[in-house]
Amino acid sequence: MGIGSRIREARLACHYTQEELAGLLGVSKGAVANYENGLHTPKEAVLCRLIPALQVDANFLFQDVEGMPQKNPVFTQEELRFLEKLRRLSSYDRETLSYLMDRQLMALPERAPETLSQTPAAPSLPPEEPIRLYPFLQYAASAGTGVYSADMPLETVPAPARRGADFIVGVSGSSMEPMFQDGDLLYVAKTDSLSLHDIGLFSKDGGLYVKEAGADRLLSLNGDFPDVFPEEGEIRVVGRILGKVPREE
């Protein structure tokens, strides 16, 4: 039994469907299927969400990996304590922390070697989330409705400050469920390029799409909706989705 079978065993024990687990991990249903079938192994960022989502530890997932001593933990005690803290955070706080970790990892190759061994200073966070006005693109949609122009005037909307966010976009439709629901507001960072499987905001033929970046198309997470193919019109990256704007209680 390999890690894929262990993931499937833990998912069934939690009574999750592949779609439900994909929503918790921020990946597509196909990615979860690939994990369980042994075609791909979850990356570290996904593992950090997978372990608390399935309520297991790393030793359970990796106990069948050939050549790995089962008595030795896959993670250090410090890392396991970090994962336990991660489990107690809200989904919004996890998204924020994941974004900060991604930014930190992206910066690593640019650092001088002597600075890599230094412990980075903890970021100074305000006691309460500051509110700022963000440009608001109201008519974007995961289903593709709405019209987009790079120089179109934008309204503004107040929202908790999100590091790296340039504007907010509204979701219309359900093609990205369970990750995003109709009516959600999303933080967007402007960029003209994304990596495979990133969730982004795309423009095609004047319409806007919130989709997962695929190898040859834009992917819908909801299997009831079709993917978007480039031959139907030029697809341009508008930005990277950073996460949901918290709803007011």
Percent of the chain with pLDDT over 90: 4
202 touches 237 (CB < 8 A): yes
The token pair that represents 45 in the structure block:
């960022």
What's the pLDDT tens digit per position in 19-58?
A: 989 888 888 888 898 888 888 888 877 887 888 888 887 7
Question: Which amino acid, residue 36?
Answer: E
Q: Model confidence at 76, in pLDDT bands (50, 70, 90)?
A: low
> Measured at the alpha carbon of residue 123, what is the angle toward residues 117 and 87, in degrees to the nearest 5?
90
Can you say how many angstroms the Cα of residue 33 is from the centroid of all Cα atoms in its chain? 17
The pLDDT confidence band at residue 109, using thresholds 50, 70 and 90, is low
Mean pLDDT value of segment 192-209: 86
Question: So what's the pLDDT on residue 189?
Answer: 92
Question: E strands along the chain, which residues?
Answer: 131-137, 155-160, 167-170, 185-190, 199-204, 207-213, 218-219, 235-244
What is the value of pTM for the model shown?
0.47
> CA angle, corner 173, sides to 157 and 196, nearest 5?
90
* Mean of all residue pLDDT scores within the chain: 75
pLDDT for 204 equals 82
pLDDT at residue 228, as a whole number = 83
pLDDT of residue 129: 55
pLDDT in the model for residue 74: 54
Domains of the chain, CATH where assigned: 3-88 (1.10.260.40), 131-244 (2.10.109.10)
Residue 225 has pLDDT above 80, yes or no: yes
pLDDT at 138 over 60: yes
Secondary structure class of 77 (helix, strand, coil) = helix
pLDDT of residue 208 exceeding 50:
yes
pLDDT of residue 112: 44
